[in-house]
Amino acid sequence: MKPKVAKIISYAFHPLLIPVYSVLLYYTIGLFRYMNPRFLILGILCTIFFSVLIPLLSFLWLSEKGYISSVNIPKKEDRVVPYLICAASLTACSLIMASKHIFPFVYGTLAGGAIVLIICALINNWWKISVHSAAMGCWLGCVLNVWAIGPMSHYFLNNNNAIIISAVILVSGLVTSARMASEQNTPAQVAVGFAIGLAIGYPFLFLFFPGQ
């Protein structure tokens, strides 16, 4: 993979954007067809605000004050505080969605992402880890839970299940390959990040369905 292509893929599937993609993917489920469109729009705007805008503005402020070297946080030592800010922002978004009684698997996915970021922040104190891969692993775990082998999967069985799961697996492969091709992460950092994301993303949603 060429470095330029790898860079484009990394930006297109930046960890800050994965929560937005997750919510949009959930909106394809038939359950959402019966909901007020304004409610759905507010949901995605809320996700964009908390998962993208707040972290970006925080990164800019930290960069201007000299607390981090760049908004791209390339250095391991720059990443702990930004990761925790993202985790707090995703948690806030999850709590707001829960208060609005949106489906548990939606706000559960955002909460799972927050847990993954906290774990990455802790590990990052000793070792650089690929948060891109962790985000993709978490997303794939949640998708498997909802569309394949989770407590809610029997509600969503349709002909698109295999396509959705295959698409997320394909994107995960592209993103992890891009991180290695651009030499941003080693194979070990990518593998561990993805494993952590998957290990949290899949079982985490079971917490929201204790009766299953």
pLDDT < 70: residue spans in the chain: 150-159, 209-212
Per-residue pLDDT of 92-118, as tens digits, reads 999 999 998 888 889 999 999 999 999
Quick: pLDDT tens for 145-162. 888 776 565 556 565 788
Burial of 183 (0-12, 13-18, 19+ CB in 10 A): exposed
pTM for this model (two decimals): 0.90
Using CA atoms, how far apart are residues 163 and 114, in angstroms rounded to an integer?
A: 27
3-state secondary structure the chain: CCHHHHHHHHHHCCCCCHHHHHHHHHCCCHHHHHCCHHHHHHHHHHHHHHHHHHHHHHHHHHHHCCCCCCCCCCCHHHCHHHHHHHHHHHHHHHHHHHHCCCCHHHHHHHHHHHHHHHHHHHHCCCCCCCHHHHHHHHHHHHHHHHHHHCCCHHHCCCCCHHHHHHHHHHHHHHHHHHHHHCCCCCHHHHHHHHHHHHHHHHHHHHHHCCCC
What pLDDT is recorded for position 211? Answer: 47
Report the C-alpha gap between 115 and 1 in whole angstroms: 31
What does the alpha-carbon distance between residue 98 and residue 208 come to, in Å, rounded to a whole number?
11
User: Taking the CB of residue 212, how many other CB atoms lie within 10 A of it?
Assistant: 11
- Name the residue with tokens 């561990």: 192
Q: How far apart are CA 55 and CA 52, in angstroms?
A: 6
- pLDDT for 2: 78
